[in-house]
Structure 1
């Protein structure tokens, strides 16, 4: 069976991870950078790439045995993400409350740790049950739920793909209209910032595209009129989003619903689909070599979970510096970005070399089969991405 490499998933993830680091660093230009990419941001791209990777890595062989094997693997992955999430939260809390030079009331408020400081036992328990997600540590819980639900998504899609997509759209609409969501005491509205009932649609779109790739088809069938329309939408969305947010129109109705990140508003969803459609139909991106000058970026995408964790640590360090000094000069901000990006890319290359030494083979990206296989194990494809996003300064 002939195999081809699908490297654009890693490229999108790697580039997004670098932008996420800047977005979460709370620099003077972080907000403007985030809103200069259109209605959506890295969150949608990550979740959609997660769906594509899950289709390649976890789609089961036919029958009950294949379903059980997939369920076992996805549950193990979810529990791994759960423990990583708790460790990251514990590290942030320990740093803020135990290190005198970090303890800052403004930082405690920024990371929504004030309730934990007031009632540590209660909110520590809530954190264990994912009902308290402070310090921007809310993307891993979303992915945790989505990856655990992968076998159910497969079961529905394998029976009737269009009906499964229609059901996903219906759930997205119901969640947006009736505000169906989970509890998060760290948020002003007391609800998850990334509503899983809304964001599952982004993930399902990725799953469907990944299953097409698995069957030897293009993830998004090319149509010249549709490509032009998607490209124009991506361009127009950039100044439109800047006008909305810089002009503070985003808090008004109906724009608030159209661009809501919590409910994955229609404009965000359309923008994300348009970006991915353009990216996966550009021949120039398909021809980019993962071993060329962009190798560190591809490596970051292949090692998305450790790179995300390191990026969060670095962005937290920068945030502490900004809050502790009430801002830093622009030159130091740019230096922090350069050093942080260099550390992330260097660590990604180190991870790739370590993998190559262990396996004796070059680090590979996602392997895409020209014909369906019973199962894609860890030895033939990287694990699906498990990361998170860049988020706006205020929830909608």
Structure 2
């Protein structure tokens, strides 16, 4: 995938099919492996900020995010970007002799994500329980799927630790942990054959949606909000797209693709704005192909995020605007994505409690979100300062 006429990270040159009449984006030269492409960081930062805004429902800024004009939201965009980043980081390294070390590294990352998920879930419980005690609002315990844990404490704690119960707005990190557990197998299949990987990934996505294959919860009859067997398909698409670019491929810039993508985004915008949800176009097909389910990543949502990504990728002005310096605030947020996401999640949970005890006042909520966005930048600067201090200490010792 390319942004405008510039490659993402280690993109190389490519040949053009002599018989093709399609206009294609040229890739002038490879980007050195040591040069970080800040465009992914910028888009990741925008997703993180949007996720934070959407995780404090009931305030005005929520209506400004793109979930209000399309089928997908920042969760889909973030998973796609993560796939691109993983493809850039590991795509060319999963070779014989290095696979065991890389597999252990990926699984260590999965463990980090799991621990982060448990930590944010425990802090979320503390925030809501603290709000219930301090403000005398026991009804807070009924929010975001907390009550089953309170009513069945022994089973609830075990279920949460074993990923058998998820709190609302605390279900993305568990998805990422599952994806990183799957990542060595994904990269091995990528070595065997990229088309084989794409076909198997698509088959798993379809089967998961068709037959409702999804990790179950222990405390109730529900299941994971974000099904890893479904969302892995978008993750794999990101990896394959980046590998295509790294191998010298290019993204076709054809008027038909542009027109179809723009038309689909337009239709989805009208669909959401005018609430056309009662229109039935299923024709007896399974919901994964015709519905709008987020858990199983229905085709409507998948196509929306891909169409949006395609139009952003082929627009040169977007490429120029998002190629920022390494010390730009947005780049810093994107570079420290996990820590910033944890920070934003905890902040959003505090914001939910604040809105709850103030009668869901949208003005108070909006002011909180604006302040929270500012704190995201402050925290990113702090993390960057810590990194600089860590680098400077060995130098002083020498």
TM-score bracket, shorter-length normalisation: 0.7 to 0.9
Which of 241, 245, 263 is the aligned partner of 1:232? 263
Instruction: Give structure 1 stretches of 5+ with no counterpart.
Output: 361-396
State the match for 1:204 in structure 2. Answer: 236
Change (3 A) 1:2 1:127: closer
Calculate the TM-score normalised by the size of structure 1: 0.82
- Per-residue deviation at 1:295? 2.2
- 64, 67, 70: which one pairs with 2:102? 70
Tell me the residue number matched to 2:40: 9
Measured at CA, do residues 135 and 167 of structure 1 come closer, stay the same or move farther in structure 2, by a change above 3 Å? same
Report if the CA contact (8 A) 2:333-2:340 is conserved: yes
Output aligned runs, 1:1-396, within 5 Å. 3=32, 5-29=36-60, 32-33=63-64, 35-59=67-91, 61=93, 63-98=95-130, 100-101=133-134, 104-185=137-218, 189-218=221-250, 220-244=251-275, 249=278, 257=288, 258-288=291-321, 289-291=323-325, 295-328=328-361, 330-359=362-391
| 2:38/2:325 contact within 8 Å kept | no
Pair 1:261–1:252, CA change in 2 (3 A): farther
Q: How many angstroms does 1:90 deviate by? A: 1.4
Structure 2: runs of 5 or more not aligned: 1-29, 393-398
Distance, in Å, in 1 between the alignment partners of 2:280 and 2:391 is 52
Instruction: Determine which structure has more spread, i.e. the larger CA radius of gyration.
Output: 2
SS at match of 1:65: coil
SS in 1 for 2:97: helix
1: CA distance, partners of 2:144 / 2:193: 43
SS of the aligned residue for 2:72 comes to coil
Moved more, 62-71 or 44-53: 62-71
Residue deviations 1:33-91, cap 9 Å, x none? 55414000011111111111111222364644211111011001000111111111111
| Aligned equivalents of 1:211, 1:260: Cα separation in 2 | 29
Worse overlay, 266-275 or 92-101: 92-101
- Residues 342 and 2 (structure 1), Cα distance of their counterparts in 2 relative to 1, 3 Å cut: closer
Deviations 1:158-186 (A, max 9, x none): 11111211111111111111111101246
How far residue 273 of structure 1 moved from its aligned partner, in angstroms, is 0.6
1:301-335 deviation digits (Å, cap 9, x = unpaired): 1111111111111111111011112222x432322
Contact persistence 1:95–1:102 (CA under 8 A): no
After superposition, give the CA deviation of every residue in 1:129-171 in whole Å (9 maximum; x if it has no partner).
Answer: 1001113211111110111211101111111111211111111
